Amino acid sequence: MKILITGAAGFIGSHLVDRMLADGHEVTAMDNLVTGTMNNISQHLSNTKFQFIHHNVSNHIHIVGHLDWVIHFASPASPVDYLNLPIETLKVNSLGTHNTLGLALSKGAKYFLASTSEVYGDPEQHPQQESYWGNVNPVGPRGVYDESKRFAEAITMAYHKKHDLDTRMIRIFNCYGPRLRANDGRVVSNFIDQALRGKPLTIYGGGEQTRSFQYVSDLVEGIVRLTGVKFHEPVNLGNPQERTVLELAELIKELTGSKSEIVYKPLPTDDPKRRLPDITRAKQLLDWTPRVEIRDGLSQTIAWYKEQLAVAK
């Protein structure tokens, strides 16, 4: 197949590029490199089935030739990024989603939207099912991401219903692995980077807030499986094993052998207190469940960070 992946130089997007090329498809990677990096995809530049286009999808997109899939992953996806780039975040998830949907429609391609568990906001339902409408503050600091992703889902469903566009939607819960930027503000990357550098591990709030962590290869497998199933409602992809942020910090200290202390800072505004997916739909629809145990996934991620620190020296 011929596939366009937006946000292809980012953390998850680049792993998806790896998988699609490994499966024999032709991939056009598109990214404006605001939060992505060519280091994530440079290994493919000599591959005749791969091409890279430097472009902001919030602007009109022109692609020559046939496409089978448009897979839309472009967006800042961490609090540090979307708080620093609020307008860009709103645009890429509204204008960018509109542009990529229009491209898919004009090419007769199928469409895949990467949405997020952030559409649930600070949830009052636990665990979160796809039928839950969420608890989101539209004018809070996280609203630029939460609400723009909710809009992206709404316009994707509108294109499906109005134009009969063949669409898919996933809601991604916390994901980690190699290529997750050290300075992107997400809890796994923060803790590993701080532990390896001998800096204090920073916990916001008391550390009792919970998250679920899936390794990136598990997420990519779920994405690939969903492309093969005709289903248009959102699908949660995440790990149903809940753990506190403090538990994660202690585990990373153990795996890195770090002597770093743990320090506590105030909880950011609207930070979710509990986040856990109900993956019943993914199990039934895709026969999918995360396979990589957190110790194994974190060990592989830590090894990658150690390599990056060695190169930097």
Structural domains of the chain ordered from first start:
2-175+214-239+272-291 (3.40.50.720)
- For residue 131, give both structure tokens: 């039928």
Three-point CA angle 284, 287, 290, nearest 5°: 115
Three-point CA angle 227, 181, 80, nearest 5°: 95
Residue 191 CA to residue 178 CA, distance in Å, equals 14
Residue 151 CA to residue 157 CA, distance in Å, equals 10
Least confident of 1-15, 163-177, 178-192, 264-278: 264-278
> Terminal CA-to-CA distance of the chain, rounded, Å?
41
184 contacts 40 by C-beta, under 8 angstroms: no
Other beta carbons less than 10 A from residue 210's beta carbon: 18
Least confident of 160-164, 184-188, 191-195, 294-298: 184-188
Q: What is the pLDDT of residues 101-149, one digit of tens each?
A: 999 999 999 999 999 999 999 999 999 999 999 999 999 989 999 999 9
pLDDT-derived band of residue 270, with 50, 70 and 90 as boundaries?
A: low
Q: How far is CA 73 from CA 6, 152, 199, 249, in A?
A: 5, 11, 32, 28
pLDDT at residue 245 in the model:
92
Instruction: Based on the residue annotation, tell me whether 111 is a catalytic residue of this protein.
Output: no
Instruction: Using only the alpha carbons of the chain, give its radius of gyration.
Output: 19
Other beta carbons less than 10 A from residue 277's beta carbon: 27
Bond into 123 cis (ω within 30): no
Residue 104 CA to residue 165 CA, distance in Å, equals 8
The active-site residue, picked from 82, 111, 120, 145, is: 145
122 contacts 146 by C-beta, under 8 angstroms: no
Closest by alpha carbon to 218, among 153, 112, 301, 126? Answer: 301
